[in-house]
Structure 1
């Protein structure tokens, strides 16, 4: 009996040594969770034995329990390196067409494969949720593999330009009274931006602002500005883009038509402000411009009927500096190539393209279980749900009990090397003690066998 007890002690010490050695071996494994061997005594009795004098039968391994407390962070320069700061697991699948067959992991070292899909080092696909592109909300909580397109969309022509700016109060009129975009002394301020035709070709669009304030004039026109727009061809030729002649005559800038002096030609538009620096009543804030063909712009096979709508959003004339708060091309874009990927704390995957477009392509899915220690360990820092752990509960990062996602960061193993080395020494001492007990039992049996 005592031999079996000593043998059980040896087995328990060996199990403790194996567990501690495995922890030490995985000290540098991202997302690894340490294990702890837990033991219980063996005791049996019957109706024919005296419970007061019955000894135990040794020791047995109750379980090797995983400890899911968080490891420390290691910071990288890879935005696809992720960690969950708090509760939750990433979900990965062997087959992107069967996302329901997935595993859980805390190892967030992901990269793009040759098809621009997010995978880990073993080629398993990271699962996420599709996102509504307009509201950036989750469209469906049915997780699937995540793919980032390296090319974004077809080229679209510019149509709507949103402008928000402040024109300084009492800006003195330029020295030369007749506007000429080739003469810097004929305008007060200018800004430029890039627009696109239907083939995605870029053009330089320049807006010129001409103050009309003359302190010696009566009235002084202190609150009036002329606005002129030009488009520069790819050949470098700058062409005046005129407003549509249907614009209210009170807000037209006209010159005599060189082909018919009895008629006027619209070359720009006027912006007027009241005494509070706001657009005066009746001021048009949506200016329709002429077509590119009418302006004589060489579009090289693109749509010649393209027009621009200048939409002014809260223009002001305050006693402060000239400031363009917004000059946004709402529609126009050329073909864009993937330039950068960012992932925010909520798990949104933001792809940035060379054409200036930023697109949320999906959201990283997180899962958790009711009992983490009930998860089945698979190796490769992967776990499977079991009946003991409960089914996976899906959700968003930074929502409810789910932790936040940190990009450019990996979770190191939660091994405390100092504690593991102490445990190693303790397990070694226990093994030696059990070996000594087995040796003593062997000597006693030898003595009994030598009795004559």
Structure 2
């Protein structure tokens, strides 16, 4: 039993090392959220087992939990670099698969067709403005026309703290394109990671609730800034040492059990 017990500890230590390594590897990834490993014990018992004689038989990974605390903010000066000053996720839709994704990485740019997209090609979602009112019931791709009705070329795109997306043209005119759509969830830790600092809805997260920046629980948008990873390198290195010691201790327990077994075998021979 001691072999199996220590083997579960080795496997768990390996999982912990993998999670910590992943955190460290993404310390410079914008919008990345670190994860922590939580363990639970395994107990061998039945309805007739004497509680005073119950023996544990190891441990297991109970949960790998995501931490959605905000990361540090970096000033970039780029108008389409966006950071959410509080709760909420940017909503993007892939033009090829139609899949809706959520991210805290606000590094956006305008493509040749005028769509505002992220590095993976996902198009930023906005609410249309209807008669001066934000219509949060409808979401659409953020699209700025390369030229206006007068034929003037697009000069700049700006987004204020309330998420108002304004396109300005060479002739001095401007067009309010819409309002950036933010999403929130009952249980963000239940979101499914899909890579590229993005997530999608799962049964554990609950459906997305949408709203405008700066309203309700949604934070304002800060243009010209990017949210960095929330990984603390010093903390991760301490956790790495702890996980390594955990691995070594379980390996030592297996070695000790092997020596005891060998001693018993030698006695019998």
Same fold (TM over 0.5): yes
The yes-or-no answer on 1:375 pairing with 2:191 is yes
- For the structure 1 residues 450 and 34, does the alpha-carbon distance in structure 2 shift closer, same or farther, using more than 3 Å as the test? same
The yes-or-no answer on 1:356 pairing with 2:172 is yes
- Report the equivalent of 2:138: 142
TM-score, reference length from structure 1: 0.58
The yes-or-no answer on 1:115 pairing with 2:140 is no
- Report the equivalent of 2:14: 14
1:411-422 alignment runs, 5 A limit: 411-422=227-238
- Report the equivalent of 2:104: 106
User: Deviation per CA, 1:296-336, whole angstroms, max 9, x where unpaired?
Assistant: xxxxxxxxxxxxxxxxxxxxxxxxxxxxxxxxxxxxxxx32
- Report the equivalent of 2:126: 128
Shift of 1:58: 0.7
- For the structure 1 residues 82 and 11, does the alpha-carbon distance in structure 2 shift closer, same or farther, using more than 3 Å as the test? same
CA–CA separation in structure 2 for the residues paired with 1:43 and 1:424: 27
Higher RCO by CA contacts (8 Å cutoff, separation 6 or greater) = 2
Shift of 1:50: 2.4
- Report the equivalent of 2:88: 88
CA–CA separation in structure 1 for the residues paired with 2:2 and 2:49: 17
Structure 1 gaps of 5+ residues are: 155-334
Shift of 1:56: 0.7
Structure 2 gaps of 5+ residues are: none
Indicate conservation of the 8 Å contact 1:131/1:140, yes or no: no
Indicate conservation of the 8 Å contact 2:95/2:121, yes or no: no
User: Deviation per CA, 1:12-35, whole angstroms, max 9, x where unpaired?
Assistant: 111111111100000000000000
Shift of 1:48: 4.4
Shift of 1:368: 0.3
Indicate conservation of the 8 Å contact 2:31/2:104, yes or no: yes
Indicate conservation of the 8 Å contact 2:136/2:212, yes or no: no
| Residue from 157, 170, 178 that aligns with 1:341 | 157
CA–CA separation in structure 2 for the residues paired with 1:398 and 1:367: 12
Shift of 1:129: 1.2
- For the structure 1 residues 97 and 129, does the alpha-carbon distance in structure 2 shift closer, same or farther, using more than 3 Å as the test? farther
Shift of 1:77: 2.1
User: Which structure has the highest helix share of the two?
Assistant: 2
4+ residue segments displaced more than 4 Å = none
User: Deviation per CA, 1:156-178, whole angstroms, max 9, x where unpaired?
Assistant: xxxxxxxxxxxxxxxxxxxxxxx
User: Deviation per CA, 1:107-128, whole angstroms, max 9, x where unpaired?
Assistant: 1111111211011101111111
The yes-or-no answer on 1:445 pairing with 2:267 is no
Shift of 1:141: 2.6
Number of aligned positions between the proteins: 268
CA–CA separation in structure 1 for the residues paired with 2:135 and 2:61: 47
CA–CA separation in structure 2 for the residues paired with 1:3 and 1:433: 13
1:57-68 alignment runs, 5 A limit: 57-68=57-68
The structure whose Rg is larger is 1
1:336 aligns to what SS in structure 2? coil
- Report the equivalent of 1:78: 78
CA–CA separation in structure 1 for the residues paired with 2:144 and 2:232: 38
Quote the RMSD (CA, aligned, Å).
Answer: 1.4
User: Deviation per CA, 1:69-122, whole angstroms, max 9, x where unpaired?
Assistant: 000101112111111110100011112794xx3011111111111211011101
TM-score, reference length from structure 2: 0.96
1:359 aligns to what SS in structure 2? strand
